[in-house]
Structure 1
Amino acid sequence: MKSGLRHQLAEKMAGEITLSDSPGKALKKWRMSFAIPQATLSEHLDVSPSVISDYESGRRKSPGTAVVGKIVDSILSIDEANGGKYTKKFAKLLYSDFDDDVIYDMHDYPTPVPLQAFAQAIGCTTLCGSLDLSIFGYTVINSINAITQLSSNEFNRIYGWSTERALIFTDVSSGKSPMVAIRVTPFKPRCVVLQGIEPAGVHPLVPKMAEKDRITVLCTMTDIDRIISVLREEPW
């Protein structure tokens, strides 16, 4: 990966952690986004796993900018040693330029948001999966345009800075097409929201596909503009 892109990504990560009201939670978000176990990160930093755990839980004083820089560098180095899968993915997002007829809205949270509260805010009904989870962002997607216009690599970019997010597909007819698209791509969201359809109208294959990928699926009849307005106003 080019050093310039790596540097920009490192700045993005370190800035979010340092400026967050909960630096430990932001640190945990990034570690998990790169699928790096605490033990692996602590070994690379030559510290006890309890040090990372204490930072993330808030038991230890928030790390300063120098320590955050070392942690971010370690996360990127570990990923690059494993082929750079996540580093390449997140670096591409620095230049994401989706058309507004594909992505209606995209936002990432610096700290986890309870899925239960998120679902209630936009009037969701649970189709399958658990609400006892947290997300780090959401993307509101025109389901038809996304499926017909985006390549597989472009589709992966709808995940923003974290796959632990809710993908809200608008104006779905049965919910099958978005789930099929997700099935054939490497990244999986924490939650899928099907907008414009009641649970009874969802294709019977949807919960079966969701179960295989451990995805919570919700339905909402709330208007798209209302969803975007509500989510932008929430103080998460």
Structure 2
Amino acid sequence: MSEDESHDMVRQRLAEKMAGEITLSEKPGEALKKWRLNFEIAQTDLSGYLSVSPSVISDYESGRRKSPGTLIVSRIVDALLEIDAQRGGQKIHAYEGILFADKKSKAIYATYEYTFPMQVAKLANIIEADIVNKGIEKPLYGFTVVDSKKAILELSSHEFQKLYGWSTERAMIFTKVTTGKSPMVAIRVTNLKPGAVVMHGLRGNEVHLMAKKMAEIDRIPLLATTMDIDEMVEALKKYSEYHVIE
């Protein structure tokens, strides 16, 4: 199989995954927004490519406009992929390892996907965390708890990207952390950046200044907590059950 054929296969598989998730979601607008944010594409860029008003994309994502049909979803997905391809295809390439992964990484302690996003401030409150770096506020569509030692020592940069699941807009929670430097270095050298990073086992004043500096450079929210790991995972999973009435 040629490189072009391999690229086309990845793109097709990814398009099917994206379109299926958006179409079948109870909140297709939220799913659409999640994927747009995953590809780091502004509403204005997407609307410009589709030759529609930015308000059209905003209305779809917010639910003010009737849920898009399969034809419109397909057009939007194709637009997201084509815009990324024109930018060099970094996001498409990053998802290749996830699409063809044959098993769950041993470095993953727990992973979870949200239908509705969580804000960083809410995350900090739930897991009793100190905010080390505020970063750029992004909606979080899930979390992954990672054994930092296994992730850093055993995974290549390509394999490391598989830890993100299907949304980069998630909290990456690293356990067994001593200073916080190694996880931030691993994040710096990958194409995908999480919506937030949590150092588990440290308080805010124990996170190394270099880790904080790297978070500042990448503008990633950085948190630190010593909450019991199992209690933390359970509390984060419960968020999806109760957020509607909060």
Decide: shared fold, TM above 0.5.
yes
Aligned counterpart, 2:55: 50
Match of 1:201 among 168, 187, 206: 206
Change in CA separation of 1:69 and 1:9 when aligned onto 2, cut-off 3 Å: same
| Separation of aligned partners in 2, 1:161 and 1:113 | 16
| Separation of aligned partners in 2, 1:53 and 1:153 | 33
Aligned counterpart, 1:115: 120
Aligned counterpart, 2:45: 40
Match of 1:189 among 188, 194, 200: 194
1:101-180 to 2 correspondences below 5 Å? 102-129=107-134, 133-180=138-185
Paired residues of 1:116 and 1:133 also in contact (CA < 8 A): no
1:47-126 to 2 correspondences below 5 Å? 47-96=52-101, 97-100=103-106, 102-126=107-131
Deviation per CA, 1:10-29: give whole Å up to 9, x if none. 22211221232322222122
Change in CA separation of 1:28 and 1:214 when aligned onto 2, cut-off 3 Å: same
Deviation per CA, 1:20-58: give whole Å up to 9, x if none. 232222212211211223233223323222221221222
Instruction: State percent identity of aligned pairs.
Output: 49
| Separation of aligned partners in 2, 1:200 and 1:207 | 10
Deviation per CA, 1:67-90: give whole Å up to 9, x if none. 112211222222223332212222
| Separation of aligned partners in 1, 2:36 and 2:137 | 21
Deviates more, 1:58-67 or 1:183-192: 183-192
| Separation of aligned partners in 2, 1:99 and 1:14 | 26
Deviates more, 1:128-137 or 1:160-169: 128-137
| Separation of aligned partners in 2, 1:219 and 1:114 | 16
Deviates more, 1:182-191 or 1:124-133: 124-133
| Separation of aligned partners in 2, 1:130 and 1:38 | 21
Instruction: Report the alpha carbon displacement of residue 103 of structure 1 after superposing the two structures with TM.
Output: 0.9
Change in CA separation of 1:60 and 1:170 when aligned onto 2, cut-off 3 Å: same
Change in CA separation of 1:41 and 1:123 when aligned onto 2, cut-off 3 Å: same
Deviation per CA, 1:160-182: give whole Å up to 9, x if none. 22222111000111112111222
Instruction: Report the alpha carbon displacement of residue 130 of structure 1 after superposing the two structures with TM.
Output: 5.3
Aligned counterpart, 1:215: 220
Q: What is the root-mean-square deviation of aligned Cα atoms in Å? A: 2.1
| Separation of aligned partners in 1, 2:66 and 2:49 | 21
Residue 235 of structure 1 aligns to a residue in which SS? helix
Instruction: Report the alpha carbon displacement of residue 188 of structure 1 after superposing the two structures with TM.
Output: 2.2
| Separation of aligned partners in 2, 1:200 and 1:31 | 35
| Separation of aligned partners in 1, 2:88 and 2:51 | 22
| Separation of aligned partners in 2, 1:80 and 1:179 | 27
Unaligned runs of 5+ in 1: none
| Separation of aligned partners in 2, 1:159 and 1:56 | 22
Residue 111 of structure 1 aligns to a residue in which SS? strand
Unaligned runs of 5+ in 2: 1-5, 242-246
TM-score (norm. length: structure 1): 0.89
Paired residues of 1:210 and 1:216 also in contact (CA < 8 A): yes
Aligned counterpart, 1:24: 29
Residue 194 of structure 1 aligns to a residue in which SS? strand
Instruction: Report the alpha carbon displacement of residue 204 of structure 1 after superposing the two structures with TM.
Output: 2.2
Change in CA separation of 1:185 and 1:92 when aligned onto 2, cut-off 3 Å: closer
Instruction: Report the alpha carbon displacement of residue 114 of structure 1 after superposing the two structures with TM.
Output: 1.6
Q: Which amino acid aligns with 1:208?
A: K
